[in-house]
Amino acid sequence: MRAAVMYGAGDVRVEDRPDPKIHEPTDAVVRVLRAAICGSDLWPYAAMPATDQGRPMGHEFLGVIEEAGSQVPGLSAGDLVITPFTWCDNTCDFCRKGLQTSCRHGGRYGFTGVDGGQGEAVRVPQAQGTLVKLPVAADSALLPSLLTLSDVLCTGHHGAVKAGVSRGDTVTVIGDGAVGLFAVLAAHRLGAGQIILMGGHTDRTSLGRDFGATDIVAERGDKGVAVIKELTGGLGAHSVVEAVGTQESMMQAIRSTRPGGHVGYVGVAHGVELPGQELFYAEVHMLGGPAPVRRFLPELIGLIWNRQIDPGRVFDLELPLDQAAEGYQAMDERRAIKTLLRP
Ligand SMILES: [Zn+2]
């Protein structure tokens, strides 16, 4: 099969890889119909040290089951399924608490001998707990929207939930990538009264307006915080979603939150160090981390199926798998919000 492999910063190649096969009776092999490049894939694209072995890329995909192992009773060949960006048994104590990203038997695509999602096929461990059947045909126009369920749609939703968004609240979202845009969408759905999107790319923030943002703030850092304070009666927002993961964006989030408010941090943190004393006196709740996508799937699949939300709009570049390198470059240069790949 063909699959995308990263060999170092800026070096993504699509090459031949061994066809995935069932290793464990709990595995399934999925033939990929659609895959996506994630903003988090841009971190290694910017900084991964060169390697001879390469790393299979991608954790956002949907496809058709080609073969299911003997201990995957709920699924069979031909089923159209979506995967969360990590796999899980969905039965252990952590999974039962809705923390499927901490599953005792879980793991990540592209590591420990498991394929990445940006390829023609993937061996999915713990398939019974991980994969969820989609209520559409393989040629459905909803596939791009359903693909966002793998990560970004659920991660934005997670950010809004962790930020404690409730009816009438003022919400600030930091970051105008796909996750930030979907945090706006979630905040809107949860009834936020005012939604301030912080981002500097007008193609993105205008989509953010369509998703429910009431104000756009292009300023960053302390200047950005000052504008948020101005827009919120000098207090800061009730709920702030941090969807970037840098020191600047995390501090911007904490400083944009009013005392007693909530920060939901869902940008993968890189080099973030929190100042203890400032945090102590800020009196904000901080919750976040990787989204337990598996928990959110049933509800959010329903919203897409009912046409209540149209998250597929974030894909503004669609390429054949063989041009994955161009897909990375376009996102890295902010020419594209999000790239959809077709194997
Ligand atoms: Zn588990």
The CA 289 to ligand 1 mean position distance, Å, reads 17
The CA 85 to ligand 1 mean position distance, Å, reads 14
The CA 290 to ligand 1 mean position distance, Å, reads 15
The CA 127 to ligand 1 mean position distance, Å, reads 12
The CA 235 to ligand 1 mean position distance, Å, reads 40
Per-residue burial over 56-93, b if 16 or more Cβ lie within 10 Å, else e, is bbbbbbbbbbbbbbeebeebeeebbbbbbbbbbbbebe
State the architecture of 2-151+292-342 in CATH terms: Alpha-Beta Complex (3.90)
The CA 89 to ligand 1 mean position distance, Å, reads 4
Domain ranges of the chain: 2-151+292-342, 155-288
The CA 165 to ligand 1 mean position distance, Å, reads 27
| Rounded distance between C-alpha atoms, residue 291 and residue 275, angstroms | 25
The CA 48 to ligand 1 mean position distance, Å, reads 30
The CA 129 to ligand 1 mean position distance, Å, reads 8
Please give the pLDDT value at position 132: 98
Instruction: State phi, psi for 130 to the nearest 5 degrees.
Output: -90, -50
Please give the pLDDT value at position 106: 97
- In tens digits, the chain (343 residues) has pLDDT values of 999 999 999 999 999 999 999 999 999 999 999 999 999 999 999 999 999 999 999 999 999 999 999 999 999 999 999 999 999 999 999 999 999 999 999 999 999 999 999 999 999 999 999 999 999 999 999 999 999 999 999 999 999 999 999 999 999 999 999 999 999 999 999 999 999 999 999 999 999 999 999 999 999 999 999 999 999 999 999 999 999 999 999 999 999 999 999 999 999 999 999 999 999 999 999 999 999 999 999 999 999 999 999 999 999 999 999 999 999 999 999 999 999 999 9
CA dist 165 → 204, 236, 240, 274 (Å): 22, 14, 9, 23
Which residues 6+ apart lie within 8 Å of 302 measured at CB?
Answer: none
> Tokens in use for 23?
């290793």
Cβ–Cβ under 8 Å, residues 65 and 78: yes
Q: Does domain 155-288 have CATH number 3.40.50.720?
A: yes
| Rounded distance between C-alpha atoms, residue 292 and residue 279, angstroms | 26
Cβ–Cβ under 8 Å, residues 81 and 36: no
The CA 37 to ligand 1 mean position distance, Å, reads 26
